[in-house]
Structure 1
């Protein structure tokens, strides 16, 4: 889990860093850069969809933080992240349609709008799923019975 989450942060940071137009210095066109940003959105959406459908419901049986209740911090974080991703997707579509309207400031503002919730969530999820923490809630047999 930690390696996935580290990769998401690196992918996010690369999209953020290149937003100023420096993607050109890396021999990337705006279209290719926007594809990179779209990939970030798709990767995070796929990862969270799998978690929400298959993993969180199982974890919620033992750990309320993964449930769909007031205590379900992880699903609440997902909602904030997905709102940011939806905004990103809207901008990407706008700039693909009319590349002349691309704005580094607007791109970074969009990314800044969900960076904190994303990075906090990724770190918190890793911490919650570390072995020492899992031992508080689950047995090894419980972990082995997880569908993954």
Structure 2
């Protein structure tokens, strides 16, 4: 039988053995280095933000005449968008109240919806063919591209048109007698793209507003814009 003594298990309350000087130094160095790196990163971020703020152009306030020149595209666009909002609200109110506008026949109501879709499609085609390419020469907000390579406003067009396709399909079926008209079904075909449509109508006008346009274009260039 072995006579070697068996080591007693360490007490859970026993203090941890002291660190060697080498361990203390290594631990202290690591902590100090970590803090230093954080300080450097924070200072770099602050400096970059300050530099960006400094390099932003500090433009004088626009005179009323200058504002009209730089804001005219936004004002023109808002006229079209208000028409789309009004027609959408006519259709949507019927869905939420459960009845068509007083005195409007089913045929007229369906035609109103189809006309809304036609006008919106033509509006987007004109924008993407004649207006956005000109703006995209200087403004990334209107850059064309495939998928996520396109600017947000153009990606919104794609989302909106998916919703338009579903709504048009339903209204055409009702018009041709292939489906019975139902306001609940109409609401289903509208609510999926309501948010992106209304966001787009607001965002596009804001992007064309005077304070943004003056960052990219001169007054003479604004006068030559195709709108």
TM-score after normalising by structure 1: 0.91
Write out aligned runs for 1:121-132 (5 A): 121-132=200-211
Taking only aligned residues, the RMSD between alpha carbons, in angstroms, comes to 1.6
**Contact 2:207–2:213 at 8 Å: present in 1 too?**
yes
Q: Which runs of 5+ in 1 are unaligned?
A: none
**Structure 1 runs of 4+ with >3 Å offset:** none
Q: Which runs of 5+ in 2 are unaligned?
A: 1-76
What's the counterpart of residue 22 of structure 1? Answer: 99
Matching of residue 67 in structure 1 with residue 143 in structure 2: yes
Matching of residue 45 in structure 1 with residue 121 in structure 2: yes
- CA drift at 1:132: 1.0
TM-score after normalising by structure 2: 0.61
Residue 3 of structure 1, aligned match among 63, 79, 87: 79
1:103 and 1:73 mapped to 2: Cα distance? Answer: 34
What's the counterpart of residue 116 of structure 1? Answer: 195
What's the counterpart of residue 186 of structure 2? Answer: 107
What's the counterpart of residue 26 of structure 2? Answer: none
Deviates more, 1:71-80 or 1:48-57: 71-80
Distance 1:21 1:101, change over 3 A: same
Q: Please identify which structure carries the higher helix content.
A: 1
Matching of residue 78 in structure 1 with residue 154 in structure 2: no
Aligned residues: 147
2:221 and 2:179 mapped to 1: Cα distance? Answer: 54
**Contact 2:173–2:179 at 8 Å: present in 1 too?**
no
Deviations, residues 38-64 of structure 1 (Å, cap 9, x unaligned): 111011111111101000000111111
Residue 169 of structure 2, aligned match among 73, 81, 90: 90
Mark the structure with the bigger radius of gyration.
2
